[in-house]
Amino acid sequence: TIGELLTLLSDDAQSVESAFTEAKTSQLRFIGQFLSSIFVSFTINWTLATVTFASIICSSGLMKLFRQISLVYMNKKFSSMSKSVTIADESLSNSRVVFSFNRQKRDAERYDDQVNEACEFDKKARISNGVGFSLAYLLNWSAVIFSLNIGSYFVLKGKMTVGELFSFTRISFETP
| pLDDT band at residue 90 using 50, 70 and 90 as cut-offs | confident
Asked if 133 and 139 touch (Cβ cutoff 8 Å), the reply is no
Of 171 and 103, which is predicted with more confidence?
Answer: 171
When pLDDT is averaged across residues 125-135 and rounded to a whole number, the result is 91
How many percent of the chain have pLDDT more than 90?
A: 20
2-18 residue pLDDT tens? 555 555 556 666 666 66
Where does the pLDDT of residue 125 fall: very low under 50, low under 70, confident under 90, or very high at 90 and above?
very high
pLDDT value at 123 more than 90: yes
Asked if 114 and 86 count as a contact pair (C-beta separation under 8 A), the reply is no
Q: Tally Cβ neighbours within 10 Å of residue 153.
A: 11
Residue 158 CB-density burial (10 A; 0-12 exposed, 13-18 middle, 19+ buried): exposed
What is the pTM (predicted TM-score) of this model?
0.64
Find how far residue 29's CA is from the centre of its chain: 21
pLDDT in tens, 26-52: 777 778 878 888 888 888 888 888 888
